[in-house]
Amino acid sequence: MVKSIPARQSRLTAMLPTGAPAPGRTPATRKTAGRPDRTFGMIVHMTWTVPAPARTGGSLTAPEAELLPDYLAWHRSTFLHKCRGLNGEQLALRPLPASSLSLLGLMRHLAKVERTWFRIRFAAEDVPPLHAVEGHKDADFDLLDPARAEQEYRQLLEEQRLADLAVAGASLDATLAAYGEPQSLRMTYLHVTTEYARHNGHADLLREHIDGVTGA
């Protein structure tokens, strides 16, 4: 004997595409490392985008040893905030006709700045300069690969972390050699913060031209 199907369920079933699960059932989704997700027989391509950063803050009246690192941290997070939600192709765009600047180029450049000033010049770590290509002064800005955007993002985060370790516990009066003259760690913080502030202004313009997003 064939059991009758309620009219409402029969209508719902008729509306489903061939091969779809019955109402009330959740379709199985299989995730395999390095392979696209498959749902209902469709391929869903997962595209990496820059995650939204945690915005940092800090005291406006703290002593220098606290205020300078906190202000640099705020500018670091501000740059990442400008890049949030963009994929590699968008980060590599050069939307300003008269300029070769891109968000991906700035990301690479700032990672180089962190390594150069804190790890190489101040802490004298035995590490090579980042993005150094013989005969190509602006390799950090010019030699871009959108497919490596996630790696470049992670490189920037790692250089920031290692830079903080390189100066941990050091006096702001400690010096390094900069262009043949002694320079204090205090001035180095100011220099790197100025680099971020300048390039955050560039990032404002680039992001607005890419997708219209504005804001601090």
Q: How far is CA 30 from CA 17, 18, 151, in A?
A: 20, 20, 26
CA 124 to chain centre: 26
Q: What is the pLDDT along the chain (216 residues), one digit of tens a residue?
A: 444 444 444 433 443 344 444 444 434 433 444 445 554 555 556 799 999 999 888 899 999 999 999 999 999 999 999 999 999 999 999 999 999 999 999 999 999 999 999 999 999 999 999 999 988 889 999 999 999 999 999 999 999 999 999 999 999 999 998 888 999 999 999 999 999 999 999 999 999 999 999 987
Helix (H, G, I), strand (E, B) or coil at 44: strand
pLDDT of residue 45: 60
Q: Looking at the domain 64-211, which fold is it? A: Four Helix Bundle (Hemerythrin (Met), subunit A) (1.20.120)
pLDDT of residue 169: 95
88: tokens are 């590699």
d(CA 92, CA 89): 5
pTM, rounded to two decimals? 0.79
| Secondary structure, 3-state, 173-213 | CCEEEECCEEEEHHHHHHHHHHHHHHHHHHHHHHHHHHHCC
pLDDT of residue 56: 80
